[in-house]
Structure 1
């Protein structure tokens, strides 16, 4: 007897190595009860409704002659339950799909801007100074850092230390002493013109800093996964309401302006790059809308009540016909309905760490890999050691 052909193993490679699932499924999905399933969410309501059905069957069998109600009420309630669950799941998946498309838009903008910056960051003779090369490399790294900053902001995670907590430098003027702590010019070094007003730095903080002491304990600073991408000593303003993604896009827009002034970008190209930055910010704004706008609580309350009402009425309608078999029947119905509702709950906020959320970590890591390879090849080309001639 001929052996059955084996399924090919998935061997993801770059690009998209992190976004793809690396391991084949060991079990059919119908037998999976752990990773990616919603059984933990629905276990309690299914158990409670099963116990309630046990009570109803016991009362119907041993206490009263019959507590059955007409079964014609079930179709009427099932229509309402079905409509509400369809709305819940369609709305949840629309939020998931919109969030994924917005992440793709952001990644596309980062790719486009990085490509344009690296190709056009030179004068008509193909020359650029060392300072200009460092400026280009810094802004390309900022583009990748935007992805990580967006991810952390959507997950409500701390990014970098706020400027208001920076240790003050020695005071040199009466004007500095009269300013609020978060606004004192002595806190920041404004001499780095390539950073712009929102790229303030302080020499007392570096990329290797892990904590910032403020007298009350240590405060976590930059995330390790993109600490090397940020300009050295960059301070944030999240405590004042300014998100790091927008702060970094200001640095990117400032670079576009400097490139235009240097003659690197003609007006149509500079305008196109500004459109790319605007598209990135717009996509991030739509992701923020998904994150900060939950399903209206009135709908959630009524949906929970309708589900509970239906599964509580169901035992009364079937107890005379099925007897003790009513218990597994109600358990199956509750498992099905609450499972559908649980899927909608997981899809409502798709930016977290759940198995069913968007794989933001892998997608962003793939984009970082692509852009950093481009940057390395660009650097090698300028050093005269490139093999592929990509930027020749």
Structure 2
């Protein structure tokens, strides 16, 4: 009896796989595989082995080396690959845990804010207080998107330095448009950007533009990341909530702790993003791999002859494949198939917070859905 295919449902609908694998992993050579990274070195070492076998067979008497040299080199190669892959996966796992910490902080801050946003003595909230609460819930979700885009080296919103500049009078006018001081920032996902002709730059991502407060300008061109800028708004809301009597001292302090944990986790993710593996290790690893796979044909040519070619190709495929996995896991915040599913994880958190907010707004004081916030 065939089991029905489970359709993705909330919660965690976006961060789970949406469809079963059509092919066994052993037969996959495209999505998620690292073959495109290693095909060139495997091909070059195979061709080099062809040359060695040809010279050994038709030109010189013997090019063979003692086979005892291989175990000595293989120990070094194994140790270096274990270190590289272990370090890379640790960066991947740490980045995933940091993203969980950030999502948990957003959940806690949203929950506490909505549960305690109540008027004094049973009075209803004013429209200003409702707007303030709703704004800060949207800012909490926007922080997730801002962190994602900053880790991917993408712009977020227009810099404040452009706010005072008038728009071009004509697309054919002589006035030059301002140029960002961070031209290396580019959007790798064109569908997520909107081109703002007023300022002539790529601005906020369409996926979370509506979450940002009206008129908010950024300071990324001056070195201030949008995530930290948004946390200042959250800190201000905590202070206002304390003054309104929504949060008592210990609760406000705990909310600040949650906000600090969010900033700390983001800082650790920035450390992973901005601290690559030391170049000395990368150089030596590449050289050791090349040396081993270049010496290997000489050590086996006398025993295997033309069979040395597929043997070397398999060894090169294995070793360079392990090294290629480390390369992909080194920076886990991008768009690769093997990177952290930041898009799906953030969308799931957005869905959770959005549902909480909509239920809170249903009656203005969160008494919908069986008194969720009572």
TM-score computed with the length of structure 1 as normaliser = 0.86
- Misfit runs of 4+, over 6 Å: none
- The partner residue of 2:132 within 132, 135, 139 is 135
Question: What's the offset of the Cα at 1:9?
Answer: 2.3
Q: Distance in 2 between matches of 1:17 and 1:48?
A: 44
Which residue in the other structure is 1:99 paired with? 95
Q: Cα deviations across residues 24-57 of structure 1 (Å, max 9, x unaligned)?
A: 0111100100100000000000000000000000
Q: Distance in 2 between matches of 1:43 and 1:209?
A: 37
- The partner residue of 1:63 within 59, 63, 78 is 59
Gaps of 5+ in 1: 170-180, 182-207
Q: Cα deviations across residues 274-323 of structure 1 (Å, max 9, x unaligned)?
A: 00000000000000000000000000000000000000000000000000
SS at 1:221 equivalent: strand
Q: Distance in 1 between matches of 2:267 and 2:366?
A: 41
Which residue in the other structure is 2:188 paired with? none
Q: Cα deviations across residues 306-358 of structure 1 (Å, max 9, x unaligned)?
A: 00000000000000000000000000000000000000000000000000000
1:96–1:349 contact (8 Å) kept in structure 2: yes
Q: Distance in 1 between matches of 2:323 and 2:133?
A: 49
- The partner residue of 1:361 within 343, 355, 366 is 343
Which residue in the other structure is 2:175 paired with? none
Which residue in the other structure is 1:147 paired with? 144
Question: Are residue 315 (structure 1) and residue 297 (structure 2) matched?
Answer: yes
Which residue in the other structure is 1:22 paired with? 18
Question: Are residue 156 (structure 1) and residue 141 (structure 2) matched?
Answer: no
Question: Are residue 331 (structure 1) and residue 316 (structure 2) matched?
Answer: no
Which residue in the other structure is 2:162 paired with? 165
1:381–1:389 contact (8 Å) kept in structure 2: no
- The partner residue of 1:213 within 183, 198, 214 is 198
Higher relative contact order (CA 8 A, sep 6+): 2
Q: Distance in 1 between matches of 2:194 and 2:66?
A: 71
Q: Distance in 1 between matches of 2:144 and 2:366?
A: 31
Which residue in the other structure is 1:172 paired with? none
Residues 387 and 272 (structure 1), Cα distance of their counterparts in 2 relative to 1, 3 Å cut:
closer
TM-score computed with the length of structure 2 as normaliser = 0.90
CA RMSD of aligned residues (A): 1.7
Q: Distance in 1 between matches of 2:324 and 2:81?
A: 10
Q: Distance in 2 between matches of 1:168 and 1:50?
A: 60
2:359–2:366 contact (8 Å) kept in structure 1: no
Residues 99 and 385 (structure 1), Cα distance of their counterparts in 2 relative to 1, 3 Å cut:
closer
Residues 25 and 91 (structure 1), Cα distance of their counterparts in 2 relative to 1, 3 Å cut:
same
| Count of residue pairs brought into register by the alignment | 348
Question: What's the offset of the Cα at 1:209?
Answer: 8.1
Residues 270 and 385 (structure 1), Cα distance of their counterparts in 2 relative to 1, 3 Å cut:
closer
SS at 2:310 equivalent: helix
Which residue in the other structure is 2:189 paired with? none
Q: Distance in 1 between matches of 2:6 and 2:83?
A: 36
Question: What's the offset of the Cα at 1:63?
Answer: 0.1
Q: Distance in 1 between matches of 2:286 and 2:158?
A: 42
Gaps of 5+ in 2: 167-177, 179-192
